[in-house]
Amino acid sequence: MEAQATQPSPLAVQPRPPGRDDQAQGEPFIRIEPPKGWRLVNWRELVAYRDLLTQFVLRDVSARYKQTVLGYAWAVIRPVFSMVVFTVIFGNLAAVPSDGAPYALFSYAALLPWTYFSGALGGATNSLTAQKGIFTKVYFPRLIIPLAPVITGLVDFAIASVVLAGLMVYYGVAPTLNVVFLPLLILIMVATAFGAGLWLSSLSVQYRDVNQAMTFAMQLLMYAAPVVWPVSLIVEKFPVWGETLRLVYGLYPMAGVIEGFRASLLGTVPMPWDLIAIGAGVAAFLVITGSLLFRRMERTFADVA
């Protein structure tokens, strides 16, 4: 009869915690204490772990297209097919105005930033619950987890941008001089996804309803964004309060980003600096408050995840 192997006791392999005797003997040790109170992001620590962040991003890019037949083509399939459906339904059947631009180009110029935003926000929201097996075992800045999908989404954004360039060549539309402000719009877009992702990922650890509601919420946010319709429609439909409603609508950061993309690339409307300024302020607010909330709650992530 074969003897059963005995499992070593966990207590036997655990290192002895440092105590006052070790300090008295001058032996070096590291004490990890949970942060207390409201704390801002420790950028120095985040920079020190930049190699780990890079590995997380490379892992996400590899995992996204691993064992797929079409590979990186999936980065353009979603916005292209959405553009085709929107063009047929909203452009041809519903005759939604497009500020004088071909509706296919009008919708794709909006789908490009929107597809990034929805993917980055969804990935950041689900990141902590999906990777609880990692951060409950070893210490590293937890902020890296929701930050990785926000950076990974820029790869798909860059690939999908090639299709927009092809559409502009096909329709004979040249970018305006405002194209130099595209990096600013991209920065606001990334900050919005990151700030909202910090809020939702922190709450999703304790309230899994957040993860369940994301699919439904993203559909509502897409139709609330000016993806299939122009912001000029607000002033046209509400001539009395149109300008006021338009500025209130600017509190949705993606409104200024999407209209800015169209203004800089297609020249359909003047650069909406009022919407962009309001959206930038909201994005900064989301990043600051999201970072404070994340740092406040991260001490409980390992216990409730």
Distance between CA atoms of residues 90 and 95, nearest Å: 6
Which amino acid, 158? A
Residue 32 pLDDT: 65
- Rg (C-alpha) for the chain, rounded Å, is 24
Distance between CA atoms of residues 117 and 194, nearest Å: 9
Residue 254 pLDDT: 94
Measured distance between the N- and C-terminal CA atoms of the chain, rounded to whole angstroms: 43
Residue 216 pLDDT: 85
Structure tokens belonging to residue 130: 């999906």
Which amino acid, 110? A
What per-residue string of b and e applies to 44-73 under the rule 16 or more CB within 10 Å gives b? eebeeeeeebeebbeebbeebeeeeeeeee
Mention every residue, 6+ apart, whose C-beta is less than 8 A from residue 109: 101, 164, 258, 261, 262, 265, 266
The answer to whether the beta carbons of residues 233 and 97 sit under 8 Å apart is: yes
Residue 37 pLDDT: 65
Distance between CA atoms of residues 218 and 117, nearest Å: 10
Distance between CA atoms of residues 117 and 106, nearest Å: 18
Residue 13 pLDDT: 44
Angle of the 144-171 helix axis to the 50-65 helix axis, nearest 10: 50
Residue 289 pLDDT: 94
- For 202, 213, 224, 285, 303, the CA distances from 128, given in Å and listed in that order, are 8, 16, 27, 22, 13
- Global confidence as pTM: 0.84
Residue 4 pLDDT: 43
Distance between CA atoms of residues 298 and 206, nearest Å: 11
Distance between CA atoms of residues 258 and 261, nearest Å: 5
**pLDDT per residue of the chain (305 residues) written in tens, 0 to 9:** 444 444 444 444 445 555 555 555 666 667 766 666 677 778 888 889 999 999 999 998 888 777 777 778 888 888 999 999 999 999 999 999 888 899 999 999 999 999 999 999 999 999 988 888 887 788 888 899 999 999 999 999 999 999 999 999 999 999 999 999 999 999 999 999 999 999 999 999 888 888 888 888 888 998 899 999 999 899 888 888 888 999 999 999 999 999 999 999 998 889 999 999 999 999 999 999 999 999 888 878 777 66
Structure tokens belonging to residue 203: 């709450």
